[in-house]
A = this chain, B = another copy of it.
Amino acid sequence: MPKNCNFIEKLREVGLRPTKQRIKICEVLYNREKTFHFTVNDLVKMISEQMSQKISLATVYNTVHAFEKKGYLKEISIDSQKTYFDTNTSAHHHFFDEDTHELIDCDGSDIDKINIRKTITGKKINSIEVLVRIASDNQNQK
């Protein structure tokens, strides 16, 4: 979803009615320079900071899942406690900071193309994703 796009039109195009809740969520998610990662809780907080009127939690869940289904969000499972969503819906790899629980995107030049030699009959590959877990390096504390 491009920045400063006509969200009303965009939503209609994909068959979602442009309600004020959805438009607000679009603004919060997509009117920014860079893509980012968030939890539903993060999103609820961002919305409540920018709005007088609240959006109910059920609607936030509904909307996030509706956007996911339409391909405007990607769900990422890293941490068994939290479900992350990503406004970067392209295929890409991640660093996960185990100290801060922050996700960081890798771009194409960071990791070579992964070549899978194993095949499983009757099955096709949907995605190949690398997760690099990082944490603070305490070797420096001699």
Binding site for B on A (CB under 8 A): 75, 77-80, 83, 95, 97-98, 104, 106, 109-112, 114-118, 120, 122-137, 139-140
B111 touches A136 (CB 8 A): no
A134 touches B130 (CB 8 A): no
Q: List 29 A-B contacts (CB under 8 A).
A: A75-B80, A95-B118, A95-B120, A98-B126, A106-B118, A110-B116, A111-B114, A111-B115, A111-B117, A112-B114, A114-B114, A116-B132, A122-B136, A122-B137, A123-B136, A124-B135, A124-B137, A124-B139, A125-B132, A125-B133, A127-B131, A127-B132, A128-B130, A128-B133, A129-B130, A129-B131, A129-B133, A130-B130, A130-B131
Question: How many copies make up the complex?
Answer: 2
Q: Which of A95, A116, A135 has the most CB of B within 10 A?
A: A116
